[in-house]
Chains A and B, each alone.
Chain A
Amino acid sequence: MDLSYTPEEEDFRGRLREWLAKVLPGLPPKPSPDDWPGRRAYDLGWQRTLYDAGYAGLHWPIDAGGRGATPTQHLIFLEETENAGAPYVGANFVGLLHAGPTIAAEGSAEQRARWLPPVLRGEEVWCQGFSEPDAGSDLAALRTRAWRDGDDYVVSGSKIWTSHAEVADWCELLVRTDAKAPKHRGISWLAMPMDAPGITVRPLRTLAGSTEFAEVFLDEVRVPVANRVGAENDGWRVTMVTLSFERGTAFVGEVVACRRVLGELAREARKNGRWDDAVLRRGLGRLNAEFRALWRLTQWNVSESERAGGVPGIGGSVFKLRYSRARQELYDAAAEVLGPEALDLDSRWTLDRLSSLSYTIAAGTSQIQRNIVAERILGLPKGR
């Protein structure tokens, strides 16, 4: 058990810290939450800045355009960027954190060469077309169909809750390529260009008032067969790879962010006098224990995946269950500290509190994660 970093890692941390201190003050102001083209440009701009400095795709394999760094270096990268208050991945979330890693792990050489560099350079945005109106938790019940016509698949159906669909160039899309096969067997994983004819994106308004996600209607959309990642009808296995990245590593930076937010909250409480309330103060202390422990669990999981060769293990579900709840507790505590101001929609605390509500739903609900932990880690029988 070793939590110390090697001299090379410390050196990497030091250079990164210096670089962040240099570039962050010069960043343009953040666009407003509903300015989608502005947000896209901002997020891609930051990605380009990272790329130019050699920090893009740090832990991706070198032949996938990455830097071949260890998961530990990536962990340091996430810790330092969050602590410095660098921009969040934002619109690049899917491309960088799960579609990209999936293509790196499962794609052909041509597919890696086609799709990965633009993600790293901040040129293309991806979205995730997994969920459907009748296939959410029961993802394999998806009905969007694809049939072959020459070198193309022709895709019809609809997707829902597709985050960032409005500004995406590509969609990691799950389709049913064999309607007669058992439900997990007839699925394929496609990369669909979002500007193809037949795609209609209808934004949905979230409870926070923004248009974070959308419904996507697909009417005989042509997707080249060459865009299929993995074998035909083997998409469920590929999907498990995607989900292991989505649940396993995608939230790592956010734990650090929560730790920072908790510190801000404590200082806010001291300013407005709420710190004198022992119950509230102790609650914040407890949250400190919680986020410290989640950080340790992160380090544990990263070390485990480093030993296993880079693919995150099933521990991601354990982490996500606790993290998604802790994040909601953090913003509930913020409401306690802020008092009436917690009802002000112009307060970023209020918007963040509202958005924290999605964490126990998106990327697999807490109930589904509990099923996964019980059946796949603890070996309990599947229910009828």
Chain B
Amino acid sequence: MDFQLTDDQRALRAGVRELLVRRFGRERLRAAVDAPDAPNLDRALWRELGEAGFFALRLPESAGGVGLGLPEAVLAFEEAGRALLTGPLVATHLAAGEVPGAATGETVVAAVDGTLVEWLDAADVVRGDVTGAVPMRSADPLTPLHRVPRAAPPDPVAALLTAAEQLGSAARTCELAVQHARTREQFGQPIGAFQAVKHLCSEMLVRVEVARGAVYAAAVTADPLDIAAAGLLADEAAERGARDCLQVHGGMGFTWESDVHLHLKRAWLRARRGQSAAEAEEALAEDLQSAAPGPRT
């Protein structure tokens, strides 16, 4: 057992982070937020992601993919969550190898998840039954949403990749809070020297690290119960992390200009994907009735 990132995995993570900083840095993000019309899918970026192997990561090399596994996909999606990367990333990733052009980023694929569809109008292909889809005014300014009458069953891999995005977002809001707490001064000292602020930040980190253990382990085992647990903890880390980050930023945190609300809204949206919290808890409760509950490895 060596439950740490391998050198290759570290390199992959660094590579994805670097690509996203270059192609979807803060200015791009804000430009997308402030675009006059409905959010636009950046097709050029989508193709670049395709070229970098983001969608074909788990596709076998024989099928033109990168031939890596779930742990690598989770690391890539964690970076996407950090960067608040927009678009139906999970749906397109899952369609690679099944929908022509998805693997290369030529085709944008959306999918019904629960009773919601993200990016319905922008997608070339939509998986699931969208008859009767009604547009919503989406709380997340960067994710257009439709409601559909018939719910689609949750997919565990989609849930895991979503949890990875939540983890990335949680880690990022923790960082943003700490950066702010180090520099913003009140009462003649950085606010991070005040224990009330310090303790908010350390609890953020604890939630991130606990979620990280759960998400990475679920990526290794692909066990549905591990994935359910990872989802619960990653949702908690992302949602509470964004709230606490907002609190640490004070009034500035409540503005449109700060990025905190974007993390919070996206975290809320992701928490709606896949299995509901109630269903995940029920599944994990059922597991307790077996003789030896808990992970098998």
Residues of A near any B CB (own CB < 8 A): 1-5, 9, 72, 75, 83, 256, 259, 262-263, 265-267, 270, 281-286, 288-300, 302-304, 306-307, 315, 318, 321-322, 367, 369-371, 373-375, 377-384
Contact = CB atoms under 8 A, between A and B. Distances in A.
B210 A297 contact: yes
Contacts of A304: 4
Interface of B: 1-6, 9, 71, 174, 178, 181-182, 189-190, 192-195, 197-199, 201-203, 205-206, 209-214, 216-217, 219-221, 225-226, 228-230, 232-233, 278, 280-295, 297
Given A285-B284, A289-B280, A378-B201, 12 more contacts: A1-B219, A285-B283, A286-B281, A289-B214, A293-B210, A296-B214, A297-B213, A300-B3, A370-B195, A374-B199, A380-B201, A383-B194
Contacts of A298: 213
Given A370-B199, A380-B193, A381-B193, A300 B281 contact: no
A307 B4 contact: yes
A373 B206 contact: yes
Contacts of B199: 367, 370-371, 374
A2 B226 contact: no
B217 A3 contact: yes
A286 B297 contact: no
A4 B2 CA distance: 8
Contacts of A72: 1
Select the residue from A5, A302, A380 with max chain B CB neighbours within 10 A: A380
Given A292-B294, A296-B213, A378 B4 contact: no
Contact of A1 (B4, B181, B190, B206): B4
B288 A383 contact: no
B201 A4 contact: no
B201 A2 contact: no
20 contacts: A2-B1, A259-B293, A263-B290, A270-B289, A281-B282, A282-B285, A288-B229, A289-B214, A289-B280, A292-B226, A292-B295, A297-B212, A300-B216, A318-B205, A318-B210, A371-B195, A375-B198, A378-B201, A379-B182, A383-B189
Contacts of A281: 281-282, 285
Contact of A322 (B190, B194, B210, B286): B210
Contacts of A377: 202, 205
Contacts of B281: 281-283, 285-286, 289
Contact of B229 (A293, A367, A382): A293
A299 B229 CA distance: 16
A-B complex: 3 closest residue pairs judged by Cβ atoms: A285-B285, A266-B288, A285-B281
A29 B88 CA distance: 61
Select the residue from A72, A318, A378 with max chain B CB neighbours within 10 A: A378
Contacts of B189: 381, 383-384
Contacts of B294: 256, 259, 263, 288, 291-292, 295
B206 A267 contact: no
A1 B174 CA distance: 24
Contacts of B202: 321, 369-371, 373-374, 377-378
A302 B2 CA distance: 9
A380 B228 CA distance: 34
A346 B247 CA distance: 46
Select the residue from B1, B195, B211, B283 with max chain A CB neighbours within 10 A: B1
A259 to B, nearest CB: 4
Given A289-B232, A380-B192, A381-B182, A1 B205 contact: no
A298 B3 CA distance: 10
Contacts of A379: 178, 182
B209 A315 contact: yes
A320 B199 CA distance: 15
Contact of A293 (B9, B174, B233): B233
A361 B260 CA distance: 34
Select the residue from B2, B193, B280, B292 with max chain A CB neighbours within 10 A: B2
A119 B182 CA distance: 46
B116 to A, nearest CB: 23
A106 to B, nearest CB: 26
A300 B212 contact: yes
B140 to A, nearest CB: 25
Contacts of B205: 318, 373, 377-378
Contacts of A322: 206, 210
Contacts of B295: 292, 295-296
Contacts of A296: 3, 213-214, 216-217, 295
B285 A284 contact: yes
Contact of A3 (B212, B220, B284): B220
B216 A370 contact: no
A165 to B, nearest CB: 32
